[in-house]
Structure 1
């Protein structure tokens, strides 16, 4: 029975620090990788994801979809056998949260506009 392919992946954070590397099966989903990133997020960082919906993983310049597997996302060129794949992590707070946190000035704005037609 053939051995299942495993891939070493480390996650590069916004400040240049890394999580990992960890070994994953080629059948692992991107959703599973995001769960691992959120659970292993380093303490003391200024940006902290609240859940996997706030995390985006980027590999080879492409944002990875949750339902894809690691094997489907892996690019065949530029990788060294036995090497570690680096995925970049972007934390994007949910849009609903950001809208409620912003201070909105509801005072009517004065319209100052003049037109002269000759």
Structure 2
């Protein structure tokens, strides 16, 4: 694939640091991006995703679905030619894990009061 067809992305983390930039084909899926984020997540961060489903990617104010492609998510306005697109990477553990943490907190608070 010609280099000019590639889309350059970086991923902004909760503390303002970045992963990337990396170049992706417009046909790459969001799921592939999430796997790359998990693999390249800095080891010194307090919060880290364990699996790709722990990561939510946000671009232009929208949470991106795993089945969408990079090309579908690229907004046609407001970007400079050959510019790097920034996506925000948010760590959000699975719902089952969040429920178990809430249950533990509930049990502890019942014992305290």
TM-score of the superposed pair, with normalisation by structure 1: 0.84
Is 2:46 the partner of 1:46? yes
Give, in whole Å, the separation in 2 of the partners of 1:49 and 1:17.
Answer: 15
Deviation of 1:99 (Å): 2.0
Give, in whole Å, the separation in 1 of the partners of 2:82 and 2:53.
Answer: 30
Matched ranges for 1:20-59 at <5 A: 20-59=20-59
Q: 1:39-77 CA deviation, whole Å, 9 max, x = no partner?
A: 000011000001011100000001111001000000010
Give, in whole Å, the separation in 2 of the partners of 1:88 and 1:22.
Answer: 14
Give, in whole Å, the separation in 1 of the partners of 2:6 and 2:15.
Answer: 27
Q: Which runs of 5+ in 1 are unaligned?
A: 108-118
Give, in whole Å, the separation in 2 of the partners of 1:105 and 1:40.
Answer: 36
Matched ranges for 1:1-118 at <5 A: 3=2, 5-101=5-101, 102-105=104-107
Number of residue pairs matched by the alignment: 106
Structure 1 residue matching 2:85: 3-state secondary structure: strand
Q: Which runs of 5+ in 2 are unaligned?
A: none
More helix as a share of residues: 2
Displacement over 4 Å in runs of 4+: none
Aligned-residue Cα RMSD (Å) equals 1.7
